[in-house]
Structure 1
Amino acid sequence: MLTLSNRLTIPASELEFQAIRASGPGGQNVNKVSTAIQLVFDYRNSPTLPQHYKEGLDRLSHPNITPGGKILIKAQQFRSQEMNRQDALDRLETLLKKAAFRPKARHATKPTKASVRRRLDGKSRQSQRKQLRRSPPKD
């Protein structure tokens, strides 16, 4: 079970864990024991995941998201299966929270009259300064 917030919990029945052999160095432990975990979560067909999460995941271009609407996470950082399972869940939680983030909508505002006046005064002062630096015209 994965708890994302007070109101949203993904049941363990929607998460598919597979124990696989890890790659890389490690000698006999890597060659004999299946300690790596591959987590598969089919978010498009998930009845508990809200629609805005699904849309956010569709917008993300993440290497763990397949075009078919599944999230594949391979965790092999630790030597124990349980720690790799927890690592995969943490990474899934991070990805789902990233997909759920919606930036604030921007509202167009106008500058105040005083700020416009200050900006124009500064521009005219700079113009005067530049004119004083010019060499006098040749007649």
Structure 2
Amino acid sequence: MVGGWTLSAAELAERFSRSSGPGGQGVDTTDSRVELSVDVAGSASLPGHLRDRVLTRLAGRLVDGVLTVRASEHRAQLANRRAARERLVAQLRDAAAAPPAPRRATRPTRGSQRRRLEAKKQRGQVKRGRRGDWDA
């Protein structure tokens, strides 16, 4: 379930391959790396208003409207499948989230302006005190 809507398991495509990196014989024999893909552009369970938002926000990660997530940090395929699903859900949830409210412009208070100017004056006095009479 992602942000109030559920992604059907039938829409997910899993691929397994051998992981890279250290691990000795286990890496050479087990297909523990997981690639999880979902067709965001053609998803039937994704509401239309959210589909546009997700497609826009994930435009750099999509290939022909398909989002692919890889996981290979665990030795076990089951753990990598779980990690890939969690990563996919997190990305879809972040992309489907409502945009933040626009910032309301505010003005600095009179007290904060006064404190700022006093700090500037004091800093100038410190620098003036460092000057030497090199010309004399």
Of 74, 81, 88, which aligns to 2:77? 81
Conservation of the 8 A alpha-carbon contact between 2:19 and 2:31: yes
Q: Which runs of no fewer than 5 residues in structure 1 stay unpaired? A: 127-139
Conservation of the 8 A alpha-carbon contact between 2:37 and 2:66: yes
Partner of 1:52: 50
**Residues 1:28 and 2:25 aligned together:** yes
Conservation of the 8 A alpha-carbon contact between 1:43 and 1:54: no
Q: TM-score, normalised by structure 2?
A: 0.69
CA offsets, 1:52-111, max 9 Å, x none? 24423323354xx23411111111110111110010000001101110122234376787
> Aligned partners of 1:103, 1:58: CA distance in 2, in Å?
12
Change (3 A) 1:21 1:107: closer
Partner of 1:106: 102
Identity in percent: 32
User: What SS does the aligned partner of 1:9 have?
Assistant: coil
Change (3 A) 1:80 1:107: closer
Q: TM-score, normalised by structure 1?
A: 0.68
Partner of 2:87: 91
Change (3 A) 1:34 1:105: same
Greater Rg by CA: 1
Structure 1 segments, 4+ long, off by >4 Å, are 107-111
Conservation of the 8 A alpha-carbon contact between 2:17 and 2:34: yes
Partner of 2:14: 17
Conservation of the 8 A alpha-carbon contact between 2:41 and 2:51: no
